[in-house]
Every structure is written in structure tokens, then in C-alpha cells.
Amino acid sequence: MPESFVEVRDEPRHRRRFENAFARVYDVLVPPGERTLFHRHTEDTLYVSILAARVSDQSFGSEELRSAEVPAGICVCRPHRSEPLIHRVANAGAGDMRMIGAELKASPPQVSQRPLEAPGHELAFETPRLRAYRLALPAGAALPEFEYGFSGLSVALTPGCLALRDAGGASRTLALAAGDALWHAGPQRLALANAGETDFAAVVAEWR
């Protein structure tokens, strides 16, 4: 029977990426055959799977192990504020398990009342505190100018090279690796193009 647990921010495989007033973002990496410590989640959390994995989950105080296949690219939001979770996770597969977690600390001062309607974006799910969209941008494709009327987080599911132009005409290029996570403070208007040679995919999360 386990005797202790740590808070998720103290669990060594939950590596802190960055934190601001609205989000705390961490990167979970568990090699094959290894597992996390028992740890506690108390904030509503967005989870984005970067690599396909077979995982085993064990709740604190229980001997039961729950196994699941986790596809790459899956995204969910779990309501840990109302349903705190203490558990540990083991990698039961042959490859690395990697996931980005983002705690929803607070709502930004400006939020959007309606879901985003923009080319290339598809609503994946909606909760009272979060909307998540899947962004798909084939190689060489470009999106006309659109608006993110919200603040939120983008998580790259694949490597990519993106060309961005803001409403003032300023341009920049982003080279991204799978698992890179970027906070964007809204609202903002921008045009977006895939300047790379491969298709690009990401999850765009809207804080509410």
C-alpha cells in the first residue's frame, strides 16, 4: 500500500515548461518500463498526447491497474478542481510516452462568447473553461487572415515551419518541434502559412 504522494509540480517526470497567470504547462516523458511517482492533480488540466503509447494507471490506495492505448494527437480536459486525482502512470509500451499538460489556473480578462470559425480549425471539444480545436495545415497551404478572439495555448503535434503575419503587416517564421507549446495572448488577427515541406498539425486551446 502506498504511503505518500507528491504534488504534480513536484513529480520529476512532469517537467515544467512555463507558467503565467492563466496556465502552468508541463511536459511528461516516461521511457518504456518506467513510471511516475504517485502525484496529485487539483487544477483542471488539458492533456495533449504527442506520441502513441500503452499506459497503465494506478490510483493512490488501490492495487488495481487500468491499461489503455493512447493515440498520438488525442486531447482531453479533466476537471481536477472538482474531481482531484492522485495516481501514478507507467509506460507499458515499447516506445516513449510523451504528453503535454496545461493547468487552467484562471480565465483571461477577455474571452470569446462563440467558438472560433476559421479555415483549417475544427472544434474538438468544449467545456465550461476550455475549447479545443484541431489545426491542420498541409505543406504549402496558407490561411487567409483570421482572428483568435481569445487567449490560449497551441501545442504542435508534428514538426513544422510556419510563416505568420499579424494585422500590422509584421511577419515572422516559427520553426516548431512536436510537443512545442506556445501561449498566445488575444485577441489577435493573423495570417498563417505552412512554409515547410510536410503537413503540420496542432491543438489550439481557448481559455474561457
Q: pLDDT digit string (tens) for 138-162?
A: 999 999 999 999 999 999 999 999 9
Q: In this structure, are 87 and 21 located in the same domain?
A: yes
Residue 33 binned pLDDT confidence (cut-offs 50, 70, 90)? very high
Residue with cell 510563416: 163
| Rounded CA separation 82/85 (Å) | 10
Q: In this structure, are 89 and 14 located in the same domain?
A: yes
Residue 26 binned pLDDT confidence (cut-offs 50, 70, 90)? very high
Residue 177's pLDDT is what?
A: 98
Asked if 120 and 136 touch (Cβ cutoff 8 Å), the reply is: yes
Q: Is residue 55 part of a domain?
A: yes
| Rounded CA separation 150/137 (Å) | 21
pTM score: 0.95
Q: In this structure, are 98 and 13 located in the same domain?
A: yes
Task: Record the cell numbers describing residue 3, joined without a space.
Answer: 504511503
Of the three residues 42, 71, 104, the one that is the final residue of a domain is 104
Q: In this structure, are 77 and 14 located in the same domain?
A: yes
Q: Indicate the DSSP class of residue 38.
A: P
Structural domain that includes position 135: 121-207
1, pLDDT greater than 60? no
Q: Is residue 140 part of a domain?
A: yes
Name the region of 146 (left: φ>0; alpha: ψ -120 to 50; beta: rest): beta
Give the total number of structural domains in the chain.
Answer: 2
| Rounded CA separation 42/173 (Å) | 36
Q: Is residue 93 part of a domain?
A: yes
Number of other residues whose CB lies within 10 A of the CB of residue 83: 10
| Rounded CA separation 46/27 (Å) | 12
Q: Is residue 52 part of a domain?
A: yes
Residue 167 binned pLDDT confidence (cut-offs 50, 70, 90)? confident
3, pLDDT greater than 80? no
SS3 9: helix
Question: Taking residues 37-54, what's their average pLDDT?
Answer: 98
Task: Record the cell numbers describing residue 51, joined without a space.
Answer: 506520441
| pLDDT tens track for 47-59 | 999 999 999 999 9
Q: Is residue 37 part of a domain?
A: yes
Q: In this structure, are 27 and 93 located in the same domain?
A: yes
Complete edge-to-edge strand list for the sheet that includes strand 14-19:
14-19, 23-30, 97-104, 45-49, 75-78
Of the three residues 64, 79, 104, the one that is the final residue of a domain is 104
User: Percentage of the chain with pLDDT > 70?
Assistant: 99
Task: Record the cell numbers describing residue 94, joined without a space.
Answer: 515499447
Strand partners, 53: 70
Residue 170's pLDDT is what?
A: 92
Question: Taking residues 171-182, what's their average pLDDT?
Answer: 97
| Rounded CA separation 32/44 (Å) | 27
Q: Which helix (H) or strand (E) holds 129?
A: none
How far is the first Cα of the chain from the last one, in angstroms, to the nearest whole number? 39
4, pLDDT greater than 60? yes
Q: In this structure, are 10 and 100 located in the same domain?
A: yes
Q: In this structure, are 136 and 97 located in the same domain?
A: no
Residue 108's pLDDT is what?
A: 96
Q: In this structure, are 98 and 126 located in the same domain?
A: no
Asked if 56 and 90 touch (Cβ cutoff 8 Å), the reply is: yes
**Sign of the alpha-carbon torsion through 120, 113, 155, 98:** negative
